[in-house]
Amino acid sequence: MEPETFPDELIDALIGVQRLLRRRLRRQIAPQLRGAEVELLRLVVAQPGIGISDAAKDLYLASNSVSTLVNQLSRQGYLVRETDPADRRAARLMPTAAAEARLAEWRKRRGELVRDGLAGLDEADREALAAAIPALRTLADNLHEEAEET
């Protein structure tokens, strides 16, 4: 692999895996949620009580976009807005039991899909992927830091 084509090939491979997982999961779990909705649910489950502006910052989205997602997920019964006792104008986002169950099912199905895919690889490829995980995490951290600086 040529050094100048490596970034594009890496991106294409990562996006390809993500796209296939998302499509397969969409078919298995109803009702369907968009990627941004799943990302927001994951964030709220991990950080119950997060505010809309903090969620927007963490997801690199505009606050009005997050508000739209919150409205959609609230209508579906996945999120509840609670008034922040310290600032009555601010809302805190809380996951519902349905959201937590939905994410648990999503994680379970995603894990099954990836395990099935890994089972089709030879040992050397599985080891290469396992060895790449720390580098991919560092790459994500580097990209996250660069995004915060802009």
pLDDT in tens, the chain (150 residues): 677 888 898 999 998 898 888 788 776 665 677 878 888 999 999 999 999 999 999 998 999 999 999 999 999 999 999 987 878 888 899 999 999 998 888 889 889 999 999 999 999 999 999 999 999 999 988 887 766 665
Count of positions (residues) in the chain: 150
d(CA 100, CA 19): 23
Strands, sheet with 79-84, edge to edge from the N-terminal-most edge strand: 50-51, 87-95, 79-84
Measure CA 63 to chain center.
17
Separation of alpha carbons 77 and 72, rounded Å? 9
